[in-house]
Every structure is written in C-alpha cells, then in structure tokens.
Amino acid sequence: MRKIAAIAILVFITVGFAYTKTDAKTVKNRCFISNYEEKEGKNAKPIHLTNEAFKKKVFNYEKNREWKYEGDLPCIIDFYAAWCGPCRKVAPILDELAVQYDKKIVIYKVDTDKEKELAAAFRISSIPALLFVPAKGQPQMAKGALSKEQFIKIIEAVLLENN
C-alpha cells in the first residue's frame, strides 16, 4: 500500500512539475496562436475578421452584387481553420509578410469554422484559400499552401502593381 501511495505521489509531483514549467510562449504555440506579438518593435500582424468586420473592411456581399472593396490598402484574406496542417504552415509566412509589407498591404484571417456564413458566401470548399485583393480591380483566389516566394510574387504582381 505504501508503494502505491509513493508511486501516486511521485506521478502527481512529476505531472504537476511538467505543467508548471509551461510558459506563455509554449501555450501560444500549442494553441495555434501566432507568437508574432512577442517580437519587439513590430506592430504589423494579420487581423482576424468576423463576418461583420469583413463586411465593413473588405466587402459587404449582402448589400453589393458587384465587387466593391471597402479598404484603402490591398489585402490578402486567409481562409483557414485551426486544425488544418497546411494552414498552420502558411500562418508564420503571413506573420512575416505582415511585417515585411507593413503599411503597403493588410493581411486578414478568417476562421472558416467560426465564420461559416462568410466561407459559404465565398464558396470556400478547401483550405487554405487565399483571396488577393488589389486596392482597385478584381480579387484573385489561390488555393493551397503557398511558399513565401510564391506569396511575394503574387503580392508584387497583383497587389502592388498599380500602387
């Protein structure tokens, strides 16, 4: 009986110690939240949009039949889900691009699990789906995980071409 109690106490202490050593950065990484906020001196970051915020900042698809971008700067809209492996691969690239193209483009993120109506309005059937929206002109959709180099080529050719 003493052996069982000693083993139980040892397991309890070991498990408790493991959880107390978990710092905020580890928790953020486990929860698929970008650790971008930890970079000092960097204010640019992807902005998470709800359906209502999307209609105000990007396009009110309920009011307008024809495309009318509501923003001033070109943008990228990343339709993603937290469980999606390729989406998690793209997330740090978008964090870097938000810094690299700060004040030139805006990067938005839409969680398709939380914003089902918005995902349906844009007929998102696979993720990641990326909508590249120039300040003037028609948006272009890309599907799948893109490399940083591919993002840069599209940003330069589609989003910053006329700016």
pLDDT of 15 strictly over 70: no
**Digit-coded pLDDT (tens) for 112-157:** 999 999 999 999 999 999 999 999 999 999 999 999 999 999 999 9
Task: Give the H or E element holding residue 76.
Answer: strand 75-80
Write down the mean pLDDT value for the chain.
80
pTM of the model: 0.72
**Digit-coded pLDDT (tens) for 40-55:** 335 689 999 999 999 9
What Å distances lie between residue 127 and 15, 21, 26, 97, 113, CA to CA? 36, 34, 25, 19, 11
Active-site option among 87, 90, 93, 158:
87
Active-site option among 58, 75, 77, 84:
84
Q: Which two tokens stand for residue 67?
A: 């495309």
Superfamily of domain 39-159: Glutaredoxin (3.40.30.10)
Q: Is 84 a catalytic residue?
A: yes
Spell out the domain ranges in the chain: 1-31, 39-159
**Digit-coded pLDDT (tens) for 96-124:** 999 999 999 999 999 999 999 999 999 99
Residue 5 or 159, more confident: 159
